[in-house]
Amino acid sequence: QQQVKQSPQSLIVQKGGISIINCAYENTAFDYFPWYQQFPGKGPALLIAIRPDVSEKKEGRFTISFNKSAKQFSLHIMDSQPGDSATYFCAAILTGGADGLTFGKGTHLIIQP
């Protein structure tokens, strides 16, 4: 069964700290791993994404680390800000397939000022 497991469910981080969210997948056919950010009342928005042939990708304060052998990937938010408070979803997909994104259950992140 295709699954993506995400942890933790909720996370509280002090302003300026590092937020870390972890995901693990089962289906080795997945070849694209995006992260989405969702604010209340809004749909998810793409934050950053990675392919499994890359071990790390950084965009501004956001970094994805990818461990293909362990089938795990994580999102690091450096210098976390109150505006980063949102729900974060990891996801996986086989590009070119027709099954849509498989999402993790989400992490509710709160950045305390």
14-73: contacts with other proteins (CB under 8 A)? 32, 34, 41-46, 49, 51
Q: Is 90 in the site for other proteins (CB under 8 A)?
A: no
Asked if 93 interacts with other proteins (CB under 8 A), we say yes
Interaction between residue 89 and other proteins (CB under 8 A) = yes
How far, in Å, CA of 30 to CA of 3, rounded? 11
Q: Which is nearer to other proteins, 59 or 79 (CB)?
A: 59
49 versus 110: smaller Cβ distance to other proteins:
49
Q: Does 8 contact other proteins by CB under 8 A?
A: no
Name the one range near other proteins by CB under 8 A: 12-20, 22-30, 66-74, 91-99: 91-99
Least separation, in Å, of the C-beta of 35 and other proteins? Answer: 11
Q: How far is CA 60 from CA 2, 4, 26, 63, 70, in A?
A: 31, 25, 29, 8, 26
Element (H, E) at 45: strand 45-50
Q: 98: buried, middle or exposed (CB in 10 Å: 19+, 13-18, 0-12)?
A: exposed
DSSP 78: S
